A and B are shown apart, each in its own frame.
Chain A
Amino acid sequence: DTGVSQDPRHKITKRGQNVTFRCDPISEHNRLYWYRQTLGQGPEFLTYFQNEAQLEKSRLLSDRFSAERPKGSFSTLEIQRTEQGDSAMYLCASSYRDSSGETQYFGPGTRLLVL
């Protein structure tokens, strides 16, 4: 257990539905990342926050995806009008970045299956 939690752990939905995932980072961490991982691949970066500010978004993040971190603590990732291609493991990681470096700690992931 890294201290990063994600909810739910599994989600099955029908195509066209909206889903929302939650990530609770390690409390003193100022950075929070979202990744997507498909079978046989490494994690692909989606977006990250420093405190409550969303600083970078990948081109992979279509306009159906939105992420928030309203108070600089937990974060949500919403996918609207889900498609079968959205089926993947969604990983959250948190870190504290300072002058000595940065180490990301990953949560267990939310596995999404779109039928």
Chain B
Amino acid sequence: GEDVEQSLFLSVREGDSSVINCTYTDSSSTYLYWYKQEPGAGLQLLTYIFSNMDMKQDQRLTVLLNKKDKHLSLRIADTQTGDSAIYFCAETDDMRFGAGTRLTVKP
């Protein structure tokens, strides 16, 4: 079947940049999404990118899409302790989510 894969953990220091990576297999995906989930909370949509784009910037967030390699990344600039959460990438043509990357931000 089609899979969405992410590394499980990432730890950075406050103020550094974080880069969370995701690979997907469904080349027909029209939209690719990043969601954030804090402990005990629901999924919060952070940003999304259309498959005909290769980059999207939204304040501290930068999404890069490499369609050839089916690789999606989320860069968080100036990471803060409040950014600590689990980040999910998702392709919603088949409604598939990755297992999530747990970002820990150390002061």
Interface residues of A (CB under 8 A from B): 2, 33, 35, 40-45, 48, 91, 93, 101-109
Contact = CB atoms under 8 A, between A and B. Distances in A.
Nearest to A47: B95
26 contacts: A35-B95, A35-B97, A41-B100, A42-B4, A42-B88, A42-B90, A42-B97, A42-B100, A43-B88, A45-B96, A91-B42, A91-B43, A93-B43, A101-B30, A101-B31, A101-B48, A102-B31, A102-B92, A103-B33, A103-B48, A104-B45, A104-B92, A105-B45, A106-B42, A106-B45, A109-B42
A93 B92 CA distance: 12
Contact of B43 (A44, A101, A106): A106
Interface majority SS (helix, strand, loop, mixed), chain B: strand
B44 A41 contact: no
Interface string B34-51: 010000011111001010
B50 A40 contact: no
Contacts of A106: 35, 42-45
A2 B96 CA distance: 21
B90 A2 contact: no
B99 interface: yes
A103 B98 contact: no
Contacts of B45: 103-106
B99 A107 contact: no
B42 A45 contact: no
A99 to B, nearest CB: 12
A105 B33 CA distance: 12
Given A40-B100, A102-B31, A108-B42, 19 more contacts: A2-B44, A33-B95, A35-B95, A41-B100, A42-B90, A42-B100, A43-B88, A45-B94, A45-B96, A48-B95, A91-B42, A91-B43, A101-B31, A102-B92, A103-B45, A104-B33, A104-B92, A106-B35, A106-B43
